[in-house]
Structure 1
């Protein structure tokens, strides 16, 4: 019997994926702990972010002939979501797939990972890795003890109880935006904002703490927000909400590994990126089907409405970010140069 994607997500599968080590090599083995906040699954079924971590883990063991193994801890089962970035910096956690803007309270520059209206396509986001903005962001993180192993961008959408297309629609609603900068834009549009991780969005909508949730298409599906929302503003094609959700690693741990293992980690991390892009794009299509099947009204943004959001973002979030320090101003300028 085939197991459906949604049934796997329902199950949660909080137990870690443990990759075994060949007999007799335990003395040379290092087990990486990979944490994330999203629902667990298998190598072939479930949230693509969890699957990507599992594929990474399986390939690392293969490449290093068992010198490295890995355990994947989904659903924040190893540690709470907001604690993961700090733990990576301190070397208390090996790896995490983490929405980068969640780290904005510790490293202000990471807020650029969800700067509304700055990245509006997957191609533009992918170009960051080899552009000056990507090098500068990587250097900033490395200085804080964090390495980007896999670059993954995701488009988002809005699950809402009432239509949420233009900035005018935000007036008077309570909304989860996903970053300080996104919240700033929504507040300028007249909304009240709620600062929570995406895995707490369902409870927030269910209790009435918020009327709308903006998050990635994958999270909209994985956290079953179609059960509560009557409307979906889809991010398929173009949107003002693109989030950088990389696989991160403790630089302290990476630097302590032998070169062959370092090379394997970097190579496998890069090889996971096409899988991440394909998974994100597939979920941009899938989320529309899921919400439509549940009876929600599904709409996309036209160019004029997207321009309204970008204009408001420039006047608020971009301006504020650039004024926070010289490093932020440089990052924003470099990012604007990526076509």
Structure 2
């Protein structure tokens, strides 16, 4: 009996020593966090496909390398994990680890999110990416942080209009058409122009255009390609000469998930996320150019916005969507004021 007691005490002493030793603690740090990244865009590989899916895969590979396998990822493209609109609630509750998702999709839950697709507020990539370190971007990060979200990568995309009929250039061209805008404020702009608004995520546009449920749809240049909308459209208005449709589509992490990572892992996540923003901007610009080639290749009429048309859309937005957004709550008012300051600074 005494031998058994002594043996048990010895094992307990050894285990206790191991638990407090640097070697044991290092091993515990290296235990992988298996995080899930969800998005609605077509899947591919690091080398090929929709750049938003590629960015997620590049991010996962680089963070895993920098954390020596301490953080691993599984990627779920094409809404295979959950529907686009469900991702924000899941991120905020910690039920979903990460998502690359249009921020405006959270507008119903958090009205501040609609700043991410505010018509004619952002009209260039330089302006959009400038938000990251500008007062408007810091305020947006603060608001999202309070709502349980961390911006890992700032991703902006210009968009155009795919149409079953004539191209939509000036506001009056939308009159009488069924059009998908993509956010509450974009819908308000279209309604003021005389369109009937149809709400749906970008991965449902193809079938709606094919069936005639939509006459036209505004979406990013990348989605205009990835979702093969050229098969359903006779006309395309591109973003090559400027656009009143710029969408913020960040790579987000649940704050509760972020906070359970070690400081070194958090630093790896944020550093890699920031490093990939140049890839995102260059890829989006390439898609703005490529989309014109793709649509022209199937015989669609391809046009660009002219400066007068862009100013016309901005004037409509200033008196409708911008004013409505600023009146929703104090956060929205502050965001709009800071965003307008960023326009004046250009």
TM-score relative to the length of structure 2: 0.90
- What is aligned with 1:58? 61
Structure 1 residues 334 and 27 mapped into 2: Cα distance closer, same or farther (>3 Å)? closer
- What is aligned with 1:117? 120
Deviations 1:69-124 (A, max 9, x none): 11111001011111011100000000000100010001110100000000000000
- Partner residue of 2:96 out of 82, 90, 93: 93
Deviations 1:120-162 (A, max 9, x none): 0000001000000001000000000001000000000000012
Deviations 1:12-35 (A, max 9, x none): xxxxxxxxxxxx999711111000
Q: Give the 3-state SS of the residue equivalent to 1:337 in structure 2.
A: helix
RMSD: 1.2
CA contact (8 A) 2:92 2:148 kept: yes
- What is aligned with 1:156? 159
Please list, as runs of the form range in 1=range in 2, the aligned pairs for 1:1-339 lying within 5 A after superposition.
Answer: 28-162=31-165, 163-338=167-342, 339=346
Q: Give the 3-state SS of the residue equivalent to 1:324 in structure 2.
A: coil
Q: For 2:320 and 2:336, locate their aligned partners in 1 and report how far apart those are by CA, in whole Å.
A: 13
Structure 2: state its 5+ residue gaps: 1-26
Q: Give the 3-state SS of the residue equivalent to 1:201 in structure 2.
A: helix
Instruction: Give the drift of 1:327.
Output: 1.2
Instruction: Give the drift of 1:333.
Output: 0.7
Structure 1 residues 164 and 137 mapped into 2: Cα distance closer, same or farther (>3 Å)? same
Which one has the largest radius of gyration? 2
Deviations 1:157-193 (A, max 9, x none): 0000122111110000000001110000000000001
Q: Give the 3-state SS of the residue equivalent to 1:249 in structure 2.
A: strand
TM-score relative to the length of structure 1: 0.92
Q: Give the 3-state SS of the residue equivalent to 1:83 in structure 2.
A: helix
Query: How many residues end up aligned between the 2 structures?
Result: 316
Structure 1 residues 44 and 25 mapped into 2: Cα distance closer, same or farther (>3 Å)? farther
Instruction: Give the drift of 1:236.
Output: 1.3
CA contact (8 A) 2:158 2:239 kept: yes
Q: For 2:76 and 2:28, locate their aligned partners in 1 and report how far apart those are by CA, in whole Å.
A: 23
Q: For 1:326 and 1:263, locate their aligned partners in 2 and report how far apart those are by CA, in whole Å.
A: 32
Q: For 1:105 and 1:79, locate their aligned partners in 2 and report how far apart those are by CA, in whole Å.
A: 17
Which consecutive segments of 4 or more residues in structure 1 shift more than 6 A?
Answer: 24-27
Deviations 1:301-333 (A, max 9, x none): 111110000000011100100111121011001
CA contact (8 A) 1:136 1:331 kept: yes
Deviations 1:201-260 (A, max 9, x none): 001111111100100000000001101100000011311000000000000010111101
Q: For 2:234 and 2:90, locate their aligned partners in 1 and report how far apart those are by CA, in whole Å.
A: 38
Q: Give the 3-state SS of the residue equivalent to 1:35 in structure 2.
A: strand
